[in-house]
Amino acid sequence: MSERIVKLIIDGKEIFAKPTDTILKAAIDNGIQIPTLCYLEGLTPHGGCRLCVVEVKGNPKLMTSCTTPVSNNMEIITNSPKLIKYRKQIIELLLAERIHTCSVCIANGSCELQELASKFGVDHTNVSRNWERFELDMSHERFVLDHNRCILCTRCIRVCDEIEGVHTLDIKRRGKDSMIIVDLDEPWSASYSCTSCGKCSAVCPVGAIYVKGKPLSETKRKELPKFITERRRR
Amino acid sequence: MKPEEIQKIAETEHDLRMSYKYRINVCCSSGCLPFGAQKLLKAFEDTIKELGLERVCKVARTGCVGTCSVAPVVLIDPGNHLYQNVKPEDAKKIVQEHIINGQVLEEYLYKNEAYFSKQYRLILRNAGKIDPLRIEDYIAVGGYSALAKALTQMTPEQIIYEISLSGLRGRGGAGFSTGQKWNFVAKSTAKPKYIVANLDEGDPGVFANRTLAEADPHAIIEGMTIAAYAVGAEKGFIYIRAEYPLAIQTLKKAIEQAKSYGLLGNNILGSTLNFDIELRLGAGAFVAGEETAILSSIEGLRATPRPRPPYPAVSGLWGKPTLINNVETLANVPLIILNGGTWFSKLGTPKCTGTKCFSLTGKVKNPGLIEVPMGITLKEIVYEIGGGVPDGKKFKAVLVGGPSGGCLPESMLSLPIDYESLTQAGAIMGSGGIVVIDDESCIVDTARFFIDFCMDESCGKCIPCRAGLPKVREILDRIMLGEGKVEDLKVLEELCYLIKDASLCGLGQTAPNPVLTTLNYFKQEYLAHIVEKSCPAKKCILKKVEVVKE
């Protein structure tokens, strides 16, 4: 039988956690902050944004704290200079990947990417920025899908699949050409499966999916998946 | 079928083989087919028929002999006479002289002794010697006797012990201990368990697994079945690229034959083992060959890697324990079972046992598929087996490990081939691709080519690989155009370290290797592009940028 409580050290602080916890959960529960972007409580962890990577003693590789379970006597460092540098670089790459001009973005002021950038002091990028434009999908009567702001965190895909249970959204193509699509790459208004529940707009960390005519501060609800999954468990 | 029956088939086949005085093996693998191997095979068959030699000489369709540079080739036994560049019209002459008069035709003979003398053909033991489409041919050379031994004389624990003892390591590139991997899966209690044989060989210029499947498909099937018995799996998948039609055909036929002989299916060889193999074709994604992406692809999802842990040994296909091995690893298994782990552990180096197949390509005199013992030096591969750089050109670099391998300069040629040494030098074992580059190629251009490949093949799941590789390419593009700045090199290096350390899977973690190694060993060439605005290989067309004084 595995022990019911494991002891681990995060940033020199001794903490206790359940063996089913991830490093991220153990850290949050003990007031240690690890930056995340694609992670959202209530959804299957994705492990794609790599912002939550931590150093685990004895492991040469960096581990994503959102997917790695804790184990006894684990020693974890969450904020070494190397990790901070990598996080900055990742934010830079995201800002450079598509058109992220905060001043004209609907998410200005309620954007997780913007928050992270200001937290890490990313005020410029060392790599050149992309200015390729994608067409907006404004066909749906309530929602807008703006690929220019999308960071491909797949929160919308996961919430649509796992919480709403319809899997309207998915990704087409691969690599830098990846794009969020509706059904089989149709205009949103032509979608048969979409229930217009709006969960995708509630969890989008940036301004890629939003509700028409409403400020994002009103429509964004990060805690929604957690709330629903906890209600279901009861 | 019972184990004794295998012995019986082997004896009958052996007698049949002995009844022929000569055996003409015509290579009909992907290397020789484009050069008219099919016509050649027919020409030999017709000639033998015409001259009424059917009882004296057997014409067989075989897999790759390994000398792809002189295709099509014909191997005549006894004596192992290898004829090169044979045309259909030569068939008559060869039969007349060699078979009837017993005279070896010197003018057609492949005379490069060094190509074979440094090699040690273990995995490719049957390549070019047996007809891959006949299971009887495989049984005749001792095939499936390892399976019989495993099922009748050994327990699963003993098999795993022997594999561990052999020191066999994963040939897919990462070099994880095979015995340990089997042990993990065997220890998992969840049922059912699966086995996946990885034949998604996507690297440009690499054709080792393909050749193996085309030449000796039953070695893969036998290895898989032994693994199934050892770890307690009941279903296996061979994941193969759809771009390998001949290998697919050959494997399909081999699985069919094994099923009809009762070597796959229920109660294999009278034991309690039930095991079945299914082919799964890839849909063109390079990343699908990654250990966890292959699982998603088999399940019918997008081929994107999953974070580990959980490891596939605990939660793989459909959340069940899954053993994933490269086909080359599996082809070693029958030999280890037959000869024992101790025998195998003496081959190669102590830490890195056995042999490895390499696809030797690029600017060498004798390109082809080679199999060498671990620990051999790069110099021996490039100069002795490969014959050095042709046309009086100068050797510049050798890229070891496929598109995400490392470019090593002449000074590193004494490096022995094993997982640790290669990783230390910045290269990887990878899929076993060795590309030799001569002084006509630009190093920056080479690095850009491979970054371009990895960028195209990135799945897009994690940011460092998806967003980082295009930026790396952009900087390399700028340097090649003569618009690069010295500061670019620092940005380039920092980006590469980010991609290497922070990416999710092996593709991203190794993709920057060509840039990092060339920056390390060939920095002067980068600087020549940036500072002198000239390309040492005279490949890149650099824009003459006037320096504007501020």
- Confidence (pLDDT) at B2: 84
- Confidence (pLDDT) at B430: 87
**Residue B212 — very low, low, confident or very high, per pLDDT cuts 50/70/90?**
very high
The verdict on residue B31 lying in a domain is yes
The verdict on residue B38 lying in a domain is yes
**Residue B294 — very low, low, confident or very high, per pLDDT cuts 50/70/90?**
very high
Residue at B213: amino acid letter: A
What is the spatial distance between Cα A189 and Cα A196, in angstroms, rounded to a whole number? 10
Name the residue of chain A whose CA is nearest to B307's CA: A47
| B501 vs A contacts (CB less than 8 Å) | 61-62, 82, 86
Map tokens 């390509």 to a residue.
B361
Residue B41 pairs in a beta bridge with none
ipTM above 0.85, yes or no: yes
Exposed (0-12), middle (13-18) or buried (19+): which is B253, by Cβ within 10 Å?
Answer: middle
- Confidence (pLDDT) at B279: 96
Whole-Å CA distances, B355 to B164, B178, B322, B324: 16, 14, 25, 20
Record the tokens describing residue B13, joined without a space: 């086949």
Q: Both B151 and B289 in a single domain?
A: yes
Beta pairing class for B355-362 and B433-438: parallel
Checking if the pLDDT of B31 tops 90, the result is: no
The verdict on residue B493 lying in a domain is yes
What is the spatial distance between Cα A171 and Cα A183, in angstroms, rounded to a whole number? 10
Checking if the pLDDT of B508 tops 50, the result is: yes
What is the spatial distance between Cα B169 and Cα B326, in angstroms, rounded to a whole number? 10
Checking if the pLDDT of B548 tops 60, the result is: no
**Residue B319 — very low, low, confident or very high, per pLDDT cuts 50/70/90?**
very high
Asked whether the CA dihedral B123, B125, B129, B132 is positive or negative, the reply is negative
Map tokens 């290096």 to a residue.
B493
Report yes or no: A46 and A40 within 8 Å, Cβ to Cβ: no
The verdict on residue B367 lying in a domain is yes
- Of A61, A128, A175, Cβ closest to residue B458: A175
**Residue A233 — very low, low, confident or very high, per pLDDT cuts 50/70/90?**
confident
Strands in B74-77's sheet, in edge-to-edge order, are B57-62, B22-27, B74-77, B81-83
DSSP tally for chain B: helices H, then strands E: 22, 13
Q: Both B262 and B330 in a single domain?
A: yes
The verdict on residue B123 lying in a domain is no
Q: Both B338 and B235 in a single domain?
A: yes
Q: Both B425 and B452 in a single domain?
A: no
Is B491 touching A (CB cutoff 8 A)? yes
CB contact under 8 A, A50 and B463: yes
Report yes or no: B504 and B460 within 8 Å, Cβ to Cβ: no
More confident residue, B550 or B303: B303
Q: Both B433 and B449 in a single domain?
A: no
**Polymer length in residues for chain A:** 234
**Arithmetic mean of pLDDT over chain A:** 94
Strand, helix or coil for residue B531: coil
Checking if the pLDDT of B330 tops 90, the result is: yes
| B176 vs A contacts (CB less than 8 Å) | none
Record the tokens describing residue A204, joined without a space: 């989008």
Domain that holds residue B101: 19-113
What is the spatial distance between Cα A157 and Cα A163, in angstroms, rounded to a whole number? 10
**pLDDT tens-place string over residues B431-485:** 889 999 999 999 999 999 999 999 999 999 999 999 999 999 999 999 999 899 9
CATH of the domain at B88: 3.40.30.10
**pLDDT tens-place string over residues B85-117:** 999 999 999 999 998 898 888 888 888 888 888
Task: Give chain B's domain count.
Answer: 4
What is the spatial distance between Cα A163 and Cα A229, in angstroms, rounded to a whole number? 8
Among B413, B438, B463, residue at a domain's last position: B438
Q: Is the bond into B309 cis (omega within 30 degrees of 0)?
A: yes
Beta pairing class for A74-77 and A6-10: parallel
CATH of the domain at B161: 3.40.50.11540
Q: Is the bond into B470 cis (omega within 30 degrees of 0)?
A: no
Q: Both B183 and B298 in a single domain?
A: yes
**pLDDT tens-place string over residues B52-89:** 888 899 999 999 988 888 889 999 988 889 999 999 99
CATH of the domain at B467: 1.20.1440.230
Query: Quick one: which of B514, B523, B438 has its CA closest to B479?
Result: B523
Chain centroid to CA B483: how far? 39
Q: Both B91 and B172 in a single domain?
A: no
Checking if the pLDDT of A203 tops 70, the result is: yes
**Residue A234 — very low, low, confident or very high, per pLDDT cuts 50/70/90?**
low
What is the spatial distance between Cα B60 and Cα A228, in angstroms, rounded to a whole number? 67
DSSP tally for chain A: helices H, then strands E: 7, 9
- A interface residues, B as partner, C-beta within 8 Å: 45-50, 53, 61-62, 64, 67-69, 82, 86, 89-90, 93-94, 96-97, 126-128, 151-152, 171, 173-178
- Of A90, A127, A171, Cβ closest to residue B463: A90
CB contact under 8 A, A176 and B459: no
CB contact under 8 A, B466 and A173: no
**Polymer length in residues for chain B:** 550
Q: Min CA distance, B459 vs chain A (Å)?
A: 5
Q: Both B326 and B371 in a single domain?
A: no
Checking if the pLDDT of B550 tops 60, the result is: no
**pLDDT tens-place string over residues B130-166:** 999 999 999 999 999 999 999 999 999 999 999 999 9
The verdict on residue B199 lying in a domain is yes
Checking if the pLDDT of A3 tops 60, the result is: no
The verdict on residue B526 lying in a domain is yes
- Confidence (pLDDT) at B284: 86
Beta pairing class for B22-27 and A209-211: unpaired
CB contact under 8 A, B491 and A128: no
Checking if the pLDDT of B308 tops 50, the result is: yes
- Confidence (pLDDT) at B545: 53
- Confidence (pLDDT) at B475: 95
Strand, helix or coil for residue B2: coil
Strand, helix or coil for residue B524: helix
Report yes or no: B83 and B93 within 8 Å, Cβ to Cβ: no
Q: Both B452 and B496 in a single domain?
A: yes
Beta pairing class for A74-77 and A53-56: antiparallel
- Of B302, B470, B503, Cβ closest to residue A176: B470
- Confidence (pLDDT) at B107: 87
What is the spatial distance between Cα B197 and Cα B6, in angstroms, rounded to a whole number? 25
Checking if the pLDDT of B321 tops 80, the result is: yes
Checking if the pLDDT of B543 tops 70, the result is: no
CATH of the domain at B416: 3.10.20.600
Q: Both B249 and B386 in a single domain?
A: no
The verdict on residue B35 lying in a domain is yes
Mind listing the domains of chain A with CATH numbers?
Answer: 6-79 (3.10.20.740), 109-233 (3.30.70.20)
What is the spatial distance between Cα A219 and Cα A146, in angstroms, rounded to a whole number? 16
Q: Both B170 and B315 in a single domain?
A: yes
Exposed (0-12), middle (13-18) or buried (19+): which is B149, by Cβ within 10 Å?
Answer: middle
Record the tokens describing residue B528, joined without a space: 């020549």
User: What's the whole-number mean pLDDT along residues B220-239?
Assistant: 96
Beta pairing class for B322-326 and B355-362: unpaired
Among B345, B369, B387, residue at a domain's last position: B345
Residues 6+ apart with CB under 8 A from B478: B484, B488
Q: Both B197 and B280 in a single domain?
A: yes
- Confidence (pLDDT) at B78: 86
Checking if the pLDDT of B500 tops 70, the result is: yes
**Arithmetic mean of pLDDT over chain B:** 92
CB contact under 8 A, A48 and B491: no
- Confidence (pLDDT) at A1: 44
